[in-house]
Structure 1
């Protein structure tokens, strides 16, 4: 009975996690579609409005579920970490390592060792079409969505026991899924995205506060676009 109950719980959690991911993807897709109607301002505004509504609903749902998760089951004591000088130094150190990694990745692309990922091409194209709104989505909204889904909800659904093995597995598996969400084929760029995901997962696990992984994700996207 215990095994059956466990499998049923995990099946429901997997389905729910996929549902949250789909809600985010649908909202972001509709939002970006407004760029296809730049020659028709009225239609672009209508599509953009629908995108805003779907984004608000999806974000509210995912944030609510994350909060409910922590109230019901929070073995890692995730919450709000007190901001101290030590915490700030640690955060900046992680940011520095992440930026060094990003520069190395950019260098590999500039040397034609790796090709520019399709995800980055799409983001760049959408930003050109609607620089303000797509910039806001890519820099501000996407980090919140992705951290709640790939770090917050995922790590509280799966590998959620407070021990070293589960913590390591949570960081690595979350990073790999993050990589696959940005690069749909198993290649070098998938590994690079996965490594970025692991940076973010480590940040969430280290500080036990999702605000830090969101902030790191925000800064990474900002610096990548500038």
Structure 2
């Protein structure tokens, strides 16, 4: 069995908390400046993630822990089917549910900094941390089920928004299953990027629910059809590609 850090629950929790404490001075320094909220969040989020990754790297080196995952996207990883699954979930299931928890007329102002955070920083850092580090470590000591549960409880806690919680839970579980099958962090980053891109476009295009209800329904049908007909091939590495 591989010796990977963190392989215990308390190690995973400490790995999340300690970098937060270490990077907290940056937070207080930033509060002294009148910064745009997206700029503020991006700087602190990047600082925190880099601190966590550095701590994990140093512990792995000092105590001879292994780092075992691939950045490449395998040719036989069913990327097209996985992509369709993400798209159909977001448009057919997730967006309609969100419409019942917020004002559908809410306008979101476009921000390049928000785009950078949502489409670049979040997919790379969150997948590296939650799939590449935490899930990967827990899999060395826990069953797939419990490793996924523990990882995604932590993943959902950092997405405290009601509107983000359901999407984060589904996305976290789905991408965790994909990671377990192919150990490809590149695939996880791509799927996270795709999911955030769809959400970003949805909010900033301000699509009215009453106009898009037929589109939502169509993608909901696609979503459940994929589950019914291709659930096994979604997560298997075989010689065929979609």
Give the Cα–Cα distance (whole angstroms) in 1 for the partners of residues 152 and 65 of structure 2: 22
Which has the larger helix fraction?
Answer: 1
How many angstroms does 1:221 deviate by? Answer: 0.6
Whether contact under 8 Å (2:171, 2:192) holds in the other structure is no
1:78 matches 2:69? yes
Segments of 5+ residues of structure 2 without an aligned counterpart are: 1-7, 202-242
* Structure 1 unmatched runs, 5+: 1-8, 35-41, 118-123
Q: 1:86 to 1:70 in 2, by over 3 A?
A: farther
1:108 aligns with 2:88: no
Shift, 1:160, TM fit: 2.3
1:44 counterpart (35, 39, 42)? 35
Q: Shift of residue 212 of structure 1? A: 1.8
What secondary structure sits across from 2:158 in the alignment? Answer: helix
TM-score by length of 2: 0.59
The reply to whether residue 220 of structure 1 matches residue 195 of structure 2 is yes
Superposed CA offset, 1:15-56 (max 9, x none): 22223466789979998x79xxxxxxx9437x8877665455
**1:156 & 1:95 partners in 2: Cα distance?**
22
Alpha carbons of structure 1 residues 61 and 44: separation in structure 2 relative to 1, 3 Å = closer
1:197 pairs, out of 172, 176, 186, with 172
- Cα deviations across residues 54-74 of structure 1 (Å, max 9, x unaligned)? 455433333334445666334
Q: Which of 51, 70, 79 is 1:91 aligned to?
A: 79
Q: Does the 8 Å contact 1:28/1:55 carry over to 2?
A: no
Q: Which residue of 1 aligns with 2:185?
A: 210
Q: CA RMSD for the aligned pairs?
A: 4.1
Aligned pair count reads 190
- Whole-Å Cα distance in 2 between the matches of residues 65 and 209 of structure 1? 22
